[in-house]
Structure 1
Amino acid sequence: MMSLLPSEPRPPRILLAEDDDEMRSLLTLTLAREGYAVVALEDGFELSNYVSLTQVCGGPLLPPDLILSDVRMPGHTGLDVLAQAQSAGLSCPVILLSAFADDGTREAAMRLGASAFLDKPVDLELLKATVQEVLP
């Protein structure tokens, strides 16, 4: 008789939305090396579609443990998707990144429930510490 082994814990899943190819690759590699499962998305359209397809919204995809998103992207901004995730009941932490953040953008992000807001160019050590801090 075969005994059942306990299932391995899955690594935290991070949705990463960044429209700059080099930055997306750098962030994906950095987070993957830390042991996270990274789903890299190219823009706000893809991030919005993924959020719409999560089980929280009635779709087939597992919800992420964290969303890491650029603010300014084609399609939907990081703020748009943060609002979408909140209204859909997706309760994972969200970290926003921007090279063009002003006080109004930062205030809007925090009002919408962002867990953190980091400036670009991203300090990778600060990013890793922030991800670790906000993940449950």
Structure 2
Amino acid sequence: MMPPLPSEPRPLRVLLAEDDDEMRALLTLTLARAGFAVVALEDGFELSDYVALTQVCGGPLMPPDLILSDVRMPGRTGLEVLAQAQAAGLSCPVVVLSAFADEETREAARVLGVSAFLDKPVDLEVLKAAVREAARAGSPSP
């Protein structure tokens, strides 16, 4: 019998919530090309549903390694879902994007422990760097 082949490291799973179709497609492509496994969701409701279905919350879905979310979306905001995820015990780094961020929104994000708050339009290199840094900071130390 042959020994098992060494397994490839699994790409980090990014849960992406963005209600603008073109922006979601661009972010998905950018992150996929950077080596991330992206689960793209259309709005706050889908993000909330995904979080509720993670294994952390008793569901069948693998929890994400990182959440990248727009703040203002139909249904539920990215910050509302983040609060829900934390209350349910899901702990992963979160990067948020917003075209309409006021100081109150930024403070709410800080209180929730958001890893990075990026303004739209976002530079894609800055986005990739922020996602990598947040994922690295959120990974358990060996």
Q: Give the TM-score category using the shorter length.
A: over 0.9
In structure 1, the residue matched to 2:67 is 67
Alpha-carbon distance in structure 2 between the residues aligned to 1:63 and 1:52: 10
Q: Deviation at 1:8?
A: 2.0
Alpha-carbon distance in structure 1 between the residues aligned to 2:16 and 2:108: 20
Aligned-residue Cα RMSD (Å) equals 0.8
Identity %: 81
- Describe how 1:107-118 pairs up with structure 2 within 5 A: 107-118=107-118
Question: What one-letter code is carried by the residue in structure 1 that aligns with 2:120?
Answer: K
Q: What CA deviation, in whole Å up to 9, does each residue of 1:85-136 have, x standing for no partner?
A: 1111111000110000000000001101111100000111110110111112
Alpha-carbon distance in structure 1 between the residues aligned to 2:2 and 2:76: 50
Count of residues in correspondence between the two structures: 136
Q: Deviation at 1:82?
A: 0.7
Question: Is 1:52 paired with 2:52?
Answer: yes
Alpha-carbon distance in structure 2 between the residues aligned to 1:6 and 1:62: 22
Q: Deviation at 1:58?
A: 0.5
The unaligned stretches of length 5 or more in structure 2 are none
What SS does the corresponding residue of 1:38 show, helix, strand or coil?
Answer: strand
Q: Deviation at 1:7?
A: 2.4
The unaligned stretches of length 5 or more in structure 1 are none
In structure 2, the residue matched to 1:129 is 129
Q: Deviation at 1:47?
A: 0.3
In structure 2, the residue matched to 1:14 is 14
TM-score normalized by the length of structure 1: 0.97
Alpha-carbon distance in structure 2 between the residues aligned to 1:3 and 1:104: 56
Alpha-carbon distance in structure 2 between the residues aligned to 1:47 and 1:39: 10
What SS does the corresponding residue of 2:15 show, helix, strand or coil?
Answer: strand
Structure 1 stretches of 4+ moved >4 Å: none
Question: What one-letter code is carried by the residue in structure 1 that aligns with 2:90?
Answer: L
In structure 2, the residue matched to 1:25 is 25
Alpha-carbon distance in structure 2 between the residues aligned to 1:47 and 1:37: 16
In structure 1, the residue matched to 2:4 is 4
